Structure 1
């Protein structure tokens, strides 16, 4: 709750953001280690070693902080770590920076803004293409930047959320299927797939429960397997179905037009679908918080020897007395 409050009130740090600093370090390490990108015998182990070099020291620091601090200091450190990892307010700001000019009919400004959050050739996108790209970005980044961070924080505290954010950043920078990163980025990509498998499906379930449940489930089962990514597929398909919006299809990239499977319903993407995707992510966060609070209440009741209704639990038999 404290981390969500930090994010709502402060947003992302404008200066000295640790993820940005980590990204710069990633660039330096890649230039030093990726010296033979087309040779798998050299590039594969080099990529694996680079992942270890970048993640292990920060993981040790996160573990040290978790073990050393206690009480209010530990709670504050946990809240700050989670705040720096999630990007709910940033997600909203980026999405609305596309939705608002699109709603006003300013396609050129909408193309400029969407180019900041997707890797497609924005100048070649029409109004529907811009809206679809931004809607997809809201749904996918909701899984990567929000729900996965919440999941790994709940599982492993500061070390969990730190490792996931580092691995996800490495995949975002190295996980390309091009000659430069095909082998070098494979370790980061596979590790990101592994860490994102459960959070992605929990995110898809969240979207399904908060939207058009029947259509979302159908899209998840029938359309998700056609997607390239094992984690983005369920998230995008369930999200598109929950919103009843059509996503996917041909998308222009600098390297050419990529044909992608159609996801979702029959309605064309628009500025309204971008806002709907933002709302879906935000409501999903409150759903997760509600579930966590409910589980916490049950655990506290069990520890204090009472059931949620207030009655004492049955006494085990036989009783031993002195």
Structure 2
């Protein structure tokens, strides 16, 4: 396990600086992934061949960069800096706040067109017909799910495997966002990216669900997790969304337009429908969870130092 002070430093750095406005490494990685996909993905191929090409593309995109990070993090004197930068670049806590707060402000000001435009940047559903309640619900769901993917899972893999772990996770998560669709083009080629991302998020998602429960309406969140999560189509988003909705005493989920088609999804949580102010409540829930994780990591680190003294 890596040093807990590095974990704290990475979170603080993310809060102070946010995402780099220019030259973000993930932008370059996205271009590399797009280049590999254009050359290896041929939807006309048979399912097995297309899946193998997807596996090869994933390995070519992820393994060299993960191994390079491992080598750099192993260097004396500068290894700690590599770890710190890797975590900082992988975290999206401040970015989550910067994307979602303006949506809440637009809703509170009655600027529905602006709110629809902004929520379209963070969700995959069709936002053109969403009313104020639908926008608030979509944004709150995005906060809970992206809090798991872009914040807690990155912290988990950093704590477990250091810089190589957080880089491996972040690259795999990016490929799932690019290739993990059930469309004609990506159904088979993106199969490996989607399954590997599911595997890497399996344990973090359940720890996040527990975190949301501990930081909100605990009993209700645990009950929603147990009874509602199995109904959701994603094995990882289900626990996170159900526990998060229960923790906030909100009703989330339901149907929506995705890629031009209406998809019926189960209702999650309990209580009233989401309102604009609930976006801020969801962001505060995520922040409380981060404080809990960092605090526990520091306590374990201090306790380990005490017992080895």
Q: Same fold (TM over 0.5)?
A: yes
Paired with 1:232 and 1:62, the residues of 2 have a C-alpha distance of 29
Larger Rg: 1
1:101 positional shift: 0.3
1:254 positional shift: 3.2
Q: How does 1:205-224 map to 2 (within 5 A)?
A: 205-224=210-229
1:104 positional shift: 1.0
Q: Which runs of 5+ in 1 are unaligned?
A: 305-322
**1:300 pairs with one of 285, 302, 305:** 305
Q: Which runs of 5+ in 2 are unaligned?
A: 1-7
Paired with 2:188 and 2:194, the residues of 1 have a C-alpha distance of 10
Query: 2:271 corresponds to which residue?
Result: 266
Paired with 2:296 and 2:94, the residues of 1 have a C-alpha distance of 21
**1:62 pairs with one of 60, 65, 69:** 69
- Say if 1:170 and 1:189 are closer, same or farther in 2 by CA, change over 3 A: same
**1:131 pairs with one of 131, 136, 142:** 136
Paired with 2:123 and 2:31, the residues of 1 have a C-alpha distance of 19
Q: What number of residue pairs does the alignment pair up? A: 302
- 1:165-190 deviation line (CA, Å, top 9, x unaligned): 00000111111111111110111111
Query: 1:234 corresponds to which residue?
Result: 239
1:74 positional shift: 2.1
- 1:81-135 deviation line (CA, Å, top 9, x unaligned): 1000001000001110111100111111000000000011111111111011100
**1:279 pairs with one of 279, 284, 290:** 284
Compare relative contact order (CA 8 Å, sep 6+) and give the higher one, 1 or 2.
2
Q: Is the 8 A contact 2:126 2:260 kept in 1?
A: no
- Say if 1:78 and 1:289 are closer, same or farther in 2 by CA, change over 3 A: same
Query: 1:314 corresponds to which residue?
Result: none
Q: Is the 8 A contact 1:95 1:138 kept in 2?
A: yes
1:24 positional shift: 1.5
Query: 1:311 corresponds to which residue?
Result: none
Query: 1:92 corresponds to which residue?
Result: 97
- 1:52-79 deviation line (CA, Å, top 9, x unaligned): 0001110110110121233xx2222211
Q: Is the 8 A contact 2:43 2:186 kept in 1?
A: no
Tell me whether 1:35 sits opposite 2:42 in the alignment.
yes
- Say if 1:14 and 1:37 are closer, same or farther in 2 by CA, change over 3 A: farther
**1:11 pairs with one of 15, 18, 28:** 18
**2:110 pairs with one of 95, 105, 115:** 105
Query: 1:175 corresponds to which residue?
Result: 180
2:254 alignment partner, SS class: strand
